[in-house]
């Protein structure tokens, strides 16, 4: 059933002020379940993102014999079964909308002694999987896909995997992580090199679980045959979720908002770097390391944003945040040009086209390009009546247009908001508390 919200235009007349903590990091929460399951001993996880994507990962490992004890909404105990302790599930593993789960688990399951099947919802079943199944096949894995290279994935067990040196054509943490996880079960050394930076949560967390990993920018390597030892994981707040609050305060005059305990992994801070280039006033306080990950409290104050040409080297470091960055550009002064972001077309939706369609419906001059977008800031020609925008059941699209209502001169009905809980439980009440005028439709 579709969930729709009416967001009143210029609802941000009241500035976005206060102190908040957004939910835990999705990428780290996924990996905490995965690596805790493979470890020897009990892993305690705090700050866990209790969203549908991460719960899909949790249910999948429970189906393979792992006991996960829920201590609170954001705290878990994962009773590891060891590197070779997973059991064959009795049915296909349904991963819902989670591409991270499917791509990482395809590598992990390629090294098991049993067959398995990975399925997902309609959106996940349309996303490209050959980017991981092709390199895995060169390691000796056997993974069947549809003719178009999509799920369901049929993973054959009892395969003898060999380490490879893989020169990835794209900078992708999911591709890199899938190969490294297969490498845990492979003979010899597995090496992944990339053309640019990608998230390094896998390398950091494997090291935190006592597994030896060689890691430096654009390079990661490990040898198979080791073991993981249980560790305590404190999941920081997700910078991808914080991005919505950073933009909300940046485009709402008079705002002064503090976001606590935000993950500041340097492979994830592209959104902060881009907003600062646009003139955003974002200050990092109380910088520290927790669980091997850098964190900080971020204070953001309203500052008139300027359009920029986004440096292409920052694009992979902010790929998930571009929907809301497009919103920031819409209310900045001057043109913003984004290129090198073709990856956006194969996310939960075609995020370039869906965002362009929605911004145009709001009267904003947004021109989609094959690999990005050109947005003429402060160009809004106010429609005569309220605008209905189809978020295509994409959580980041839905949240972005709610943020847009803070500075828009028109009312917006955002259709297809039910998937917001995959990454940001409590988003709508939080936005209401911060000044957005929202009503369920």
Distance between CA 51 and CA 253 in Å, rounded?
31
Distance between CA 283 and CA 276 in Å, rounded?
10
Angle between helices 395-404 and 322-330 (to 10 degrees): 20
**Catalytic residue positions?**
320
Residues 6+ apart with CB under 8 A from 147: none
In terms of DSSP H, where are the helices of 190-294? 201-208, 239-250, 270-277
Distance between CA 362 and CA 180 in Å, rounded?
44
Residue 404: Cβ-neighbour burial (10 angstroms; 0-12, 13-18, 19+): buried
Helix (H, G, I), strand (E, B) or coil at 155: strand
Closest CA to 38 of 282, 216, 251, 209: 209
Closest CA to 101 of 77, 129, 75: 129
Q: Residue 416: how many CB atoms within 10 A of its CB?
A: 20
Quick check: 216 and 2 in contact, CB under 8 A?
A: no
């Amino acid at each position: 059933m579709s969930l729709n919200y009416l967001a009143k235009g210029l609802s941000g007349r009241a500035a976005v002020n206060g102190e908040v903590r957004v939910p835990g990091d999705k990428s780290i929460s996924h990996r905490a379940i995965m690596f805790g399951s493979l470890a020897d001993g009990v892993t305690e996880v705090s700050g866990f993102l209790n969203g549908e994507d991460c719960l899909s990962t949790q249910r999948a490992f429970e189906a393979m014999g792992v006991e996960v004890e829920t201590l609170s909404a954001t705290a878990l105990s994962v009773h590891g079964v060891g590197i070779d302790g997973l059991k064959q599930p009795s049915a296909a593993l349904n991963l819902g909308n989670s591409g991270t789960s499917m791509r990482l688990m395809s590598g992990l399951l390629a090294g098991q002694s049993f067959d398995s099947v990975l399925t997902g919802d309609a959106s996940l079943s349309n996303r490209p999987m050959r980017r991981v199944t092709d390199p895995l096949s060169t390691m000796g894995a056997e993974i069947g896909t549809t003719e178009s290279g999509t799920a369901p994935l049929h993973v054959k067990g009892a395969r003898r995997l060999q380490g490879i040196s893989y020169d990835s054509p794209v900078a992708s943490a999911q591709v890199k992580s899938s190969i490294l996880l297969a490498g845990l079960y492979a003979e010899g050394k597995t090496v992944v090199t990339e053309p640019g930076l990608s998230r390094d949560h896998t390398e950091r967390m494997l090291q935190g679980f006592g597994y030896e990993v060689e890691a430096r920018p654009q390079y990661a390597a490990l040898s198979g045959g080791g073991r993981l030892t249980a560790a305590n994981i404190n999941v920081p707040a997700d910078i991808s979720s914080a991005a919505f609050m950073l933009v909300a305060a940046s485009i709402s005059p008079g705002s002064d908002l503090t976001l606590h305990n935000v993950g500041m992994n340097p492979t994830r801070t592209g959104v902060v770097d881009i907003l600062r280039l646009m003139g955003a006033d974002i200050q990092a306080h109380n910088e520290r390391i927790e669980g091997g990950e850098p964190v900080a409290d971020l204070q953001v104050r309203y500052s008139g944003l300027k359009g920029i040409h986004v440096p292409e080297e920052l694009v992979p470091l902010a790929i998930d945040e571009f929907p809301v960055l497009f919103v920031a550009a819409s209310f900045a002064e001057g043109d913003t040009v984004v290129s090198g972001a073709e990856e956006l077309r194969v996310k939960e939706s075609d995020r370039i086209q869906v965002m362009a369609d929605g911004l145009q419906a709001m009267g904003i001059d947004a021109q989609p390009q094959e690999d990005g977008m050109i947005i003429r800031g402060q160009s809004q020609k106010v429609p005569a009546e309220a605008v209905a925008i189809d978020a295509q059941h994409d959580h980041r699209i839905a949240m972005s247009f709610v943020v847009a209502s803070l500075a828009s001169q028109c009312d917006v009905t955002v259709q297809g908001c039910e998937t917001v809980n995959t990454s940001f439980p409590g988003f709508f009440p939080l936005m209401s508390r911060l000044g957005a005028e929202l009503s369920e439709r």
